[in-house]
Structure 1
Amino acid sequence: MSQQPARPYRILVTGSRDWPDEQTIHVALAEVVSVIPADRDITIVHGGCGKGADRIAHRWARQYGAAVEVHYADWNIGRAAGPIRNRTMVNLGADVCLAFIHGRSRGASHCAHIAKLAGIPVRRWEQPGGPVPQPRATPLDEP
């Protein structure tokens, strides 16, 4: 009797568009991955912002061979697009949520909050302050 392969370990990453610390995200992802059995695939789930925490997590996943699942917000529907996208990501499930909050980041805070309510363990990093100058958003796979 053959065994079904284990489903991928899903890491939901939510964070500020202006998250300034790439190293913190790299270390957080490496720590989570270090305790996952080697035969288990990894999927990084994020909201598709071309800068900040989403971009950093996306590039980390590509560098280390993890699958990437991107959920873009449909901003054509208005301000509700972000919360709708967050609910979709949470409803699809995750084994852990890593939240990188810079300043008051309402979107990332909302996603972390509803993940916790859904029973997903949430690890949260916070940095005070306002926006940090960032380069323009570029496609996620560009350097």
Structure 2
Amino acid sequence: MNNGDVFCILATGSRHHEDAGLIGESLYEVIAGTGARNIVIRHGACPGGADQIFQEFCESEAAWFDREGRSLIVDPVPADWDFCGPDCPPRRHRVRKKPGDVFHPGVLDDYCPGAGPRRNLAMVEKLPRPDVAVGFPLGRSSGTENCLRAAKAAGIPVRRFTTRARRGGDAA
């Protein structure tokens, strides 16, 4: 079930998520069931939304884990929105950034829409291998759903947490 004394959680969620209570409670629910001394929380490093809440959770709770003789390790995996990969179509496919766009950081005025799915796959494949993927979708949440599908395809158990099902995330 886990990688020995390390339990890796792949955490993904909407860039518009604001429910830190739901996310914190849900992460603690998943962590409580592991028994592992070292917890890794891997997220997509998107500014704002769920990724920012994952980051803040790790920063605020790390001292408590340390006092308990455990460790909470944050593992952000940002997308490279400036880069087009070999999987990109040969025709023009880049998207111009809207004024004030903070969700696609980079130096260029446009971004590659394939960067998010490439980052999601990298989070699934990176070692230590995730023991579980937890998702916090809002509405359509196409990036969150893409990440959860990639995790499920890799044989990683998936749990979704929504504001309607605040306790006991739904297994997917």
Question: Fold-level match, TM-score > 0.5?
Answer: yes
| Aligned residues of 1:14 and 1:100 also touching (Cα < 8 A) | yes
1:87 matched to 2:121? The reply is yes
Structure 2 CA distance for aligned equivalents of residues 34 and 87 of structure 1: 26
1:75 match: 81
Q: Which of 138, 144, 160 is equivalent to 1:108? A: 144
* Corresponding residue of 1:22: 20
| Paired residue secondary structure (2:161) | strand
Residue of structure 2 in register with 1:140 after alignment: none
TM-score (normalised: structure 2): 0.67
1:64 to 1:70, Cα distance in 2 relative to 1, 3 A: same
Q: Deviations 1:32-90 (Å, cap 9, x if unpaired)?
A: 1112225x200110000121111111111112211111111000021110000000000
Paired position in structure 2 for 1:64:
61
Runs of 4+ deviating beyond 2 Å: 125-128
Equivalent AA in structure 1 for residue 82 of structure 2: N
Tell me the CA shift for residue 21 of structure 1.
Answer: 1.2
Kept after mapping to 2: 8 A contact 1:103/1:126:
no
Identical columns (%): 41
Q: Which amino acid aligns with 1:52?
A: G
Q: Which of 4, 8, 19 is matched with 1:6 structurally?
A: 4
What stretches of structure 2 of length at least 5 have no aligned partner?
63-71, 84-111, 165-172
Whether the 8 Å contact between 1:101 and 1:127 is mirrored in structure 2 is no
Q: Deviations over 1:1-35 (max 9, x none)?
A: xxxx9342101100000013111101111111112
Instruction: Name the SS for the 1:75 alignment partner.
Output: coil
Q: Which residue of 2 aligns with 1:132?
A: none
Give the SS at the match of 1:111: helix
**Aligned equivalents of 1:49 and 1:6: distance in 2?**
29
Shift of 1:125: 2.3
| In 1: Cα distance, 2:116 partner to 2:60 partner | 27
SS in 2 for 1:62: helix
